[in-house]
Structure 1
Amino acid sequence: MTRTNERRYTSVEICAGAGGQAVGLHNAGFQHVALIEIDRDACQTLRANTDGNPEWDSCKVIEADLREFDPADLGLEPGELDLLAGGVPCPPFSAAGKQLGRDDERDLFPTMLELVDHLEPKAVMIENVRGLLDPKFAEYRQEIIKRLESMGYEECYWDVLEAKNYRVPQLRPRAILVAMKPEYAQYFEHSKPEESEPISVGEALHDSMRARYEAVASDPRAEKAFKDWYKKALADVAPTVVGGSKKHGGADLGPTRAKRAWAELGVCGLGVANEPEEMKDAERDLFAPAGPKLTVAQAAIIQGFPSEWKFSGRKTAAYRQVGNAFPPPVAQAVGEQIYAAFEAAAKTQTG
C-alpha cells in the first residue's frame, strides 16, 4: 500500500526485531526516532535497511538490553514523543513458553511501562501473542491498564487481530493494546477489516516459486513439481510462521502439527531452503517427497514484508528474524488508526 500521510508524528520502537512493526508504522506515516533491539543479527538487518535510506534518515538503531537501557539516551523531553510501540517478548504468554506470565524473567511489560512513564508519549501500542488475552492473565492485564491509567492514559482497545484478514497469507492472531492520552483517545476509532477472501500461499508465492523451478528447468521433474505444489498451495493460507529461539536447533517451519499443515499446502517443513542463487542441493530444496522447502525470502512474503526488505545473518538467523516478526500490514493498519486520531485532534485544536 502506498503511504499518503505526511510524516508529522514520531515513534520509538522497543524489541524491534527484524523490523516488521517498524515497516508497518513507517508505511502508516510515522517517523522513527529509534529502533531498540538486543539481537545483533536483527540490528544488522535494521541498519542494512535504514542506513543511508532517506526515508529513514532520522532513525537510530540501538543495540541494547532494554532492561539496562537509559531512555535519557534518546534525547527526548517528556511528552515530545508521539508513539511508543513494541512487541514485548511472547514466551511469557505463549503455550510454547509455558505461560509463566509475570513469573517469566523474559516479561518486559514492566520495563515497557517504565519507558512510558519516562517518555510520556501521546500513544502506546503493544503487541503480543493471543495467549495474553487468556482468562488466566486477566488480573495481570488489569494491572497493566491500571498502571497506564495512573499515568494519564485511556485504553482504546485490547483485542486480537488476525493477520489473514489484513491480506497476509498466514494464520497469525496477535493481541494488540492501544492506549492514548485522553485528548487523542476520544478520536480513536478501532475497526477491523470486513471479511474478504484471504490470499492463499499459492497466490503469494507463485512468482517466487516459479522462478526457483525455472532455475532448474533442465531437470525433467521441474515443471510437474511446480504444478503439483501450486495446486495444493492454492487451498489455504499458511499456518503461523514460527522463528523459535536460539536455544533450539536449526530453522524449520514449526512443530509437528504445523509441518502437517504445510505438507497439505505442498511445502516441506523440515528445514529452510537456500535462495536460488545459493542453492547447492536441488534434491533437498525443491524435490523433497513432501514438496519444496521455503526460502527465507519466501517466508518473509508469508509474513507480509515488502520484497526490498533484506535480512542479515546466516540462513538460520535470518529465518528466525522473519519467523518472530510482526506482519507489517497489521502494524500499518493499527498505525493508521493512531495517526488518524492524532490528525483529528490536531484539526480540532486548530479549527
Structure 2
Amino acid sequence: MESGLTSVELFAGGGGMALGTRAAGFEHLALVEWNKNAAAILRHNAEKDPALWPARAVHEQDVREWLDSTDLKAGDVDLVAGGPPCQPFSLGGVHAGDMDQRNMFPAAIETVRRLRPSFVLFENVPGLTRPSFSPYFSYIKHQLEKPTIRAKEDELWTDHHGRVQKSNPTSLRYVVHQHLVEAADYGLPQNRRRVILVGIRSDVPGATKWAVPAETHSRDALLYDQWVTGDYWAEHGLAMPTVPEGIESRLVQLKEDGRPSLERWQTIRDCIKGLPEPVDRRASPGFSNHEGIPGARAYPKHSGSPFDWPAKTIKAGVHGVSGGEAMIRFDDGSLRYFTVREAARMQGFSDDYEFPVARSRAMGAIGNAVATPVAERLTRMFAALLEAGPET
C-alpha cells in the first residue's frame, strides 16, 4: 500500500475520499473539515486504527483558516484532493475575490497555488456542467490550469477569467482532465454520477497521458445474469422471478450478443448480504451502526430503491440522507430505511469504519462522501503514471 506519496484532503467529510486515497498508498498530512460531526468521525477512526491517518492530522476548521495557519509548503504534498462545496449563485456581477461564502472553489484553488502538488483531484455533482453554470465551471478549470494568475481586488470573475485565458505563465501550470464518472461502473452498489477534475502538474512525466480508469462493471452484465441465465438469483438462493416489462428487446439483443465481458453491476441485495435483518431501535451484535429505523413510507418522487438494482444516489439532506434515497423497496412493495451500516457499505466504507455520531449526522456524512472505491481507482492511476516514466 505504501507509495511514499503524501496528500492533503480538503472538505474531508466523513472520510470516503480519504479512505480511497489511503488505500491507493497516499499518506495524509492533513484532513480539513469544518463540520464537527464529520471531524469527530475522522478522529474516532484514526484513534481506532492509526494506520488510516494520525488523529492530529484532522483539522476541524474552515479550509481558508487552515491554509493561513498550516506549516505545509510547496514541495511537501503530492496530492490535494476533495469535493469543494459550490452552492448556486448569480453569475452576473460576481466579484472574483468576494463570492458567495458557500462556494469553496476559490479556497481549493488557493491551496493548489500555495502547495503546488503534483496531482489535484476535485469531485462534485454533475450540475456543475449544466448550461447555466458552465461559464463559471470553465473559469474553475482555467484557474486550475494556471493557478498563479490571481484575481485583482474587486475584479469581476468574468474579467479575471479573460486574463487567465490570455496568460502564458511558465512557473506553475497543470494539465486538466474532466470526466463524468458513474460509480456503479466501478463496482459500487449505487448509481452515482459525479464530475471529476484531475489536475496534473505540467512537469510531471506523462501529465497528458493520464486517462480515467477503465470501467469494470456494467448494467448489461447484470441484466444478463438476472434475466438470461438466472445466475444472479441462483447465487442468492432464489427462484428466477417473472421478467419485468420494458426490457424484452434488450434481453433479445443480449442473448444474441452473449454475456458482456465486464462484471455485473452490484445490487442492494449483493451489498447487504451477510448483514442481519435490522431490528427497529436495537443495535445488531457484531455490526456497528446497524439499527433499524421505523416509519419508512413513499411519497411523490421518493419511492425507494429496488432491492435487486443499484441504489439511487445517496444524498445528504438537511437532516441526513433524504428519504427516497434512503429506503429499500422490496418486490412486494414494502419499504424500510437503510441502516447507517447499509448506507456506508453502499458508499464503499468497510464494516470496521464507525460513525460515532447521531444517525442523522452519520447519514449526512455518508451522503456527502466521495465513494471510496472510486477515489482509490482514480488515485492509483497517479502512482502508475509516475512509474510509467517520461513521455516519448
Q: Please indicate the TM-score interval, normalised by the length of the shorter structure.
A: 0.7 to 0.9
Deviates more, 1:130-139 or 1:158-167: 130-139
Matched with 1:55 is: 51
Indicate which of 311, 320, 326 corresponds to 1:238. Answer: 311
Give TM-score scaled by structure 2 length: 0.68
Relative to structure 1, the CA distance from residue 266 to residue 305 in structure 2 (aligned partners, 3 Å threshold; closer, same or farther) is farther
Relative to structure 1, the CA distance from residue 197 to residue 100 in structure 2 (aligned partners, 3 Å threshold; closer, same or farther) is farther
Within 1, Cα distance between the matches of 2:90 and 2:343?
A: 29
Indicate which of 9, 12, 16 corresponds to 1:13. Answer: 9
Matched with 1:41 is: 37
Q: Given residue 339 of structure 1, which amino acid in structure 2 is its aligned partner?
A: A
On the 8 A contact 2:145/2:199 being kept in 1, the answer is no
Please say if 1:163 is aligned against 2:176: no
Deviates more, 1:333-342 or 1:52-61: 52-61
**Pairing 1:1-351 to 2, within 5 Å after superposition:** 5-51=1-47, 53-58=49-54, 60-73=57-70, 75-92=71-88, 104-151=100-147, 152-184=172-204, 185-194=207-216, 195=218, 196-210=263-277, 234-245=307-318, 250-251=319-320, 253-255=322-324, 258=325, 262=327, 264-265=329-330, 290-345=334-389, 348=390
On the 8 A contact 1:36/1:62 being kept in 2, the answer is yes
On the 8 A contact 1:42/1:312 being kept in 2, the answer is no
Within 2, Cα distance between the matches of 1:291 and 1:16?
A: 32
Following superposition, the deviation at residue 211 of structure 1 comes to: 6.5
Q: Given residue 275 of structure 2, which amino acid in structure 1 is its aligned partner?
A: S
Specify which structure has the higher proportion of helix.
1
On the 8 A contact 1:202/1:233 being kept in 2, the answer is no
- The Cα offsets for residues 250-282 of structure 1, whole Å up to 9 and x where unpaired, read as 445435xx47xx454469xxxxxxxxxxxxxxx
Give TM-score scaled by structure 1 length: 0.75
On the 8 A contact 1:125/1:179 being kept in 2, the answer is yes
Relative to structure 1, the CA distance from residue 100 to residue 26 in structure 2 (aligned partners, 3 Å threshold; closer, same or farther) is farther
Q: RMSD between aligned alpha carbons?
A: 2.8
On the 8 A contact 1:166/1:330 being kept in 2, the answer is yes
Following superposition, the deviation at residue 343 of structure 1 comes to: 2.7
Relative to structure 1, the CA distance from residue 132 to residue 252 in structure 2 (aligned partners, 3 Å threshold; closer, same or farther) is closer
Within 1, Cα distance between the matches of 2:80 and 2:334?
A: 43
On the 8 A contact 2:180/2:196 being kept in 1, the answer is yes
Following superposition, the deviation at residue 147 of structure 1 comes to: 1.7
3-state SS of the aligned residue for 2:122?
A: strand
Relative to structure 1, the CA distance from residue 198 to residue 38 in structure 2 (aligned partners, 3 Å threshold; closer, same or farther) is same
On the 8 A contact 2:8/2:79 being kept in 1, the answer is yes
Following superposition, the deviation at residue 298 of structure 1 comes to: 1.0
On the 8 A contact 2:17/2:375 being kept in 1, the answer is yes
- The Cα offsets for residues 89-147 of structure 1, whole Å up to 9 and x where unpaired, read as 1543xxxxxx7577643110011111111111111111100111223222212222222
On the 8 A contact 1:71/1:119 being kept in 2, the answer is no
Following superposition, the deviation at residue 322 of structure 1 comes to: 1.1
On the 8 A contact 2:10/2:83 being kept in 1, the answer is yes
Within 1, Cα distance between the matches of 2:48 and 2:358?
A: 23
Following superposition, the deviation at residue 334 of structure 1 comes to: 0.7
Matched with 1:277 is: none
Q: Given residue 130 of structure 2, which amino acid in structure 1 is its aligned partner?
A: D
Relative to structure 1, the CA distance from residue 67 to residue 77 in structure 2 (aligned partners, 3 Å threshold; closer, same or farther) is closer
Deviates more, 1:327-336 or 1:53-62: 53-62
Following superposition, the deviation at residue 199 of structure 1 comes to: 0.5
- The Cα offsets for residues 178-228 of structure 1, whole Å up to 9 and x where unpaired, read as 011113214423333143411110111122144759x99xxxxxxxxxxxx
Relative to structure 1, the CA distance from residue 263 to residue 12 in structure 2 (aligned partners, 3 Å threshold; closer, same or farther) is closer
Q: What residue ranges of structure 2 are gaps of 5+ in the alignment?
A: 148-171, 219-262, 285-304
Relative to structure 1, the CA distance from residue 300 to residue 266 in structure 2 (aligned partners, 3 Å threshold; closer, same or farther) is farther
- Give the number of the structure whose alpha-carbon radius of gyration is greater: 2
Runs of 4+ more than 6 Å apart: none
Number of residues of Structure 1 aligned to a counterpart in Structure 2: 292
Following superposition, the deviation at residue 316 of structure 1 comes to: 1.2
On the 8 A contact 1:201/1:236 being kept in 2, the answer is yes
- The Cα offsets for residues 227-247 of structure 1, whole Å up to 9 and x where unpaired, read as xxxxx95421111111223xx
Within 2, Cα distance between the matches of 1:330 and 1:177?
A: 13
Matched with 1:220 is: none
Q: Given residue 129 of structure 2, which amino acid in structure 1 is its aligned partner?
A: L
3-state SS of the aligned residue for 1:208?
A: coil
3-state SS of the aligned residue for 2:51?
A: helix
Q: Given residue 320 of structure 1, which amino acid in structure 2 is its aligned partner?
A: G
On the 8 A contact 1:203/1:234 being kept in 2, the answer is no
Q: Given residue 13 of structure 1, which amino acid in structure 2 is its aligned partner?
A: E
Identity rate, percent:
32
